[in-house]
A and B are shown apart, each in its own frame.
Chain A
Amino acid sequence: MRRHRLQTSEWVLVAALVAEVVVFTVVAPNFFTLANGLEVTRVSVELGLLALALTPILVAGGIDLSVGSLMGLAAVAFGAAHQVWHAPIPVAMLTALAVGIAGGALNAFLVAWLQVPPLIVTLGTFALFRGIAEGVTQAAVNYSGFPAGFLALGQGYLGGIVPAQVPLFAIVALAYAALLHRSVIGRALYAIGFSAPGARYAGIPVKQRVAPIYLLSGVMASVAAIVYAAHLGQARADAGTGYELDAIAAVVLGGTSVFGGRGTIGGTLLGLFVLAVLKNGLYLSALSSELVGVLTGALLVSTIAIDRLSNREFAGVARATQEGVPVRNSQVAVLCAAILRRLVSRGRHQRLARPVDHLERRRCATRERLRFAACRCDDAEGQGRSLFRQLPRRCRGGREGTWRRSDLGRPHQPRRRAAERAGRELDYARRGCDRGCGRESSRHLDRAPQGAQPGDPRGHVGCRRRA
Chain B
Amino acid sequence: MPRRRALHGYRDELPAALATIALGAVLAIATPGYYAPDNLRDLLLASLPVLVVAIGATLVILSGEIDVSSGSMFAVCAVIAGTVAKATGSLPWATVAATTAGLLLGLLNGVLVSSVRIPSIVVTLATMVALRDGLRWVTQGTWVQDLPREFQWFGLTQQVYPWIAVMVSIGLLVIAAWALGHLAAGRAIYATGSNTDAARLAGIHVARVKCTVFAIAGALTGVAALLNAVRFNQIPSNTGLGLEMKVIAAAVVGGAAITGGRGTMLGTLLGVVLLGAIGPALTFLGVTAYWERALQGLIILAAIALHARRDVRDTDTPAAAASRAVPA
Contacts and interface: CB of A to CB of B under 8 A. Distances in A.
Contacts, number: 201
Interface stretch (A121-129, A219-227, A396-404): A121-129
Given A290-B134, A300-B125, A324-B200, A115 B312 contact: yes
A11 to B, nearest CB: 19
B300 interface: yes
A132 B140 CA distance: 32
A226 to B, nearest CB: 23
B134 A206 contact: no
A293 B133 contact: yes
Nearest to A430: B318
Query: Which of B128, B200, B258 has most A Cβ within 10 Å?
Result: B258
Interface string B227-262: 000000000000000000100110010000011000
A322 B298 CA distance: 40
Contacts of B39: none
Contact of B133 (A61, A127, A292): A292
Interface residues of B, number: 63
B243 to A, nearest CB: 13
B126 A296 contact: yes
B308 A378 contact: no
B321 A115 contact: yes
A296 to B, nearest CB: 6
Nearest to A315: B117
Contacts of A128: 293-294, 297-298, 300-301
Interface string B257-295: 011000000000000000000000000000010111111
Interface stretch (A87-95, A191-199, A333-341): A191-199
B172 to A, nearest CB: 25
Interface stretch (A14-22, A150-158, A245-253, A345-353): A245-253
Contacts of B318: 197, 200, 383, 432, 440
Interface stretch (A28-36, A301-309, A447-455): A301-309
Given A62-B326, A127-B293, A305-B112, 17 more contacts: A61-B327, A120-B300, A124-B300, A128-B301, A129-B297, A131-B291, A135-B288, A196-B325, A258-B119, A290-B133, A293-B129, A297-B127, A301-B122, A322-B200, A324-B201, A375-B197, A440-B321
Contacts of B200: 322, 324
Given A127-B294, A210-B326, A291 B123 contact: no
27 contacts: A61-B327, A114-B304, A114-B308, A114-B309, A119-B121, A124-B301, A125-B297, A127-B296, A131-B295, A135-B290, A135-B291, A196-B322, A196-B323, A210-B326, A245-B125, A259-B328, A290-B134, A293-B134, A293-B136, A294-B130, A296-B133, A298-B130, A301-B118, A301-B122, A305-B112, A375-B197, A383-B318
B116 interface: yes
A318 B114 CA distance: 13
Contacts of B327: 61, 117-118, 196
Q: Size band of the A side of the interface?
A: 35 or more
A120 B304 contact: yes
A197 B126 contact: no
A359 interface: no
Contacts of B245: 123, 126-127
A128 B245 CA distance: 12
A116 B309 CA distance: 9
A134 B311 CA distance: 33
Contacts of A373: none
Interface in A264-305: 288, 290-294, 296-298, 300-301, 304-305
Given A121-B304, A124-B301, A375-B197, A300 B122 contact: yes
A112 interface: yes
Interface of A: 60-63, 110-112, 114-121, 123-132, 134-135, 137-139, 192-193, 196-197, 199-201, 206-207, 210, 245, 248-249, 252, 257-260, 288, 290-294, 296-298, 300-301, 304-305, 308-309, 318, 322, 324, 375, 378-379, 383-384, 432, 440
A131 B127 CA distance: 26
The A interface, classified by DSSP as helix, strand, loop or mixed, is helix
A378 B116 CA distance: 27
B258 A117 contact: yes
A115 B319 CA distance: 13
Nearest to B256: A120
A331 to B, nearest CB: 14
The B interface, classified by DSSP as helix, strand, loop or mixed, is helix
B137 A301 contact: no
Nearest to B246: A127
A358 B127 CA distance: 40
Contacts of A124: 249, 297-298, 300-301, 304
A-B pairs, top 10 by smallest CB distance, nearest first, are: A293-B133, A131-B294, A128-B297, A297-B130, A131-B293, A127-B297, A290-B137, A124-B300, A297-B126, A197-B322
Nearest to A206: B325
Given A128-B298, A134-B294, A290-B136, A193 B326 contact: yes
A149 B300 CA distance: 41
B236 to A, nearest CB: 16
Contact of B121 (A63, A137, A288): A63
Nearest to A379: B198
Contacts of A378: 319
A394 to B, nearest CB: 21
B242 to A, nearest CB: 9
A147 B320 CA distance: 53
Given A110-B304, A293-B129, A126 B297 contact: yes
